[in-house]
Amino acid sequence: MRILIIEDEKKVADFIRRGMKEEGYAADVASDGEDGYFQAKEILYDIILLDLMLPKLDGLSLCRKLRQEGIQTPLIMLTAKDSIKDKVTGLDSGADDYLTKPFSFEELLARIRALMRKGKSLQPARLQVADLVLDVVSHKVWRGNEEIFLTVKEYALLEYFMRNAGTVITRTMISEHVWDINFDTFTNVIDVYVNYLRNKIDKGQGIKLIHTIRGRGYMLKGD
């Protein structure tokens, strides 16, 4: 999952970004409304976290602008304003949820999970390809009856593969959805992590699931 954090308080933005990366999410930060608008327009995000009090373009105006232009990315407003009127205004501007500062990171994660569950047909609780199963709630993975233990980044990579099973996934696509915007695309870290996954998912198995598509990227498929 890729998250855009639009927040001008550096400490708050760094705190959220660090927590998201520890959860295995790719997290980008925009420090003003105009930059946030540009990133939200140019990059496909799964969730937008939006502060209200922003320089250049305030959060309410930004939210309305995105919705008017057809960008329906789930959006949570983060603000110190906690009156009922402020919450109603935020939700009426197009926000999906509203969280007042200070907030616990655990609550923020729970609200993100709740938003993602709204599209249950698109976000199943379990993903399966052949005998490989990934539980998106518990973050557990099995191949057949054997549980496979993955690092946070390995799990994020596998989840992205499984959500796009049968489709060629390029290195650029992986860098955009599994790593953050500052990722160095000239390193071989993606290939290294794909090999890590292969050793855990395919080693010793009769049917290999992770395939290299020469000159294009990778594909996860079960037949």
Q: Is 169 helix (H, G, I), strand (E, B) or coil?
A: strand
Both 97 and 150 in one domain: the answer is no
Q: Which domain, by its residues, includes 214?
A: 126-220
* Burial class, 22, CB count within 10 angstroms (exposed 0-12 / middle 13-18 / buried 19+): exposed
Give the C-alpha separation, 199 to 128, whole Å: 19
pLDDT at 177: 79
The residue whose two tokens read 């249950």 is: 120
CB atoms within 10 A of CB 59: 24
Q: What is the pTM of this model?
A: 0.65
Domain end residue (candidates: 117, 150, 175) = 117
> What is the mean pLDDT for each group of 10 consecutive residues in the chain (223 residues)?
90 90 86 93 88 90 89 87 76 86 87 75 71 87 93 91 89 79 73 93 91 90 81
Looking up residue 176, the CATH number of its domain turns out to be 1.10.10.10
pLDDT at 120: 47
pLDDT at 185: 64
pLDDT at 195: 94
pLDDT at 132: 94
Both 110 and 29 in one domain: the answer is yes
pLDDT at 219: 93
Domain end residue (candidates: 87, 117, 147) = 117
pLDDT at 121: 43
Tally of domains in the chain: 2
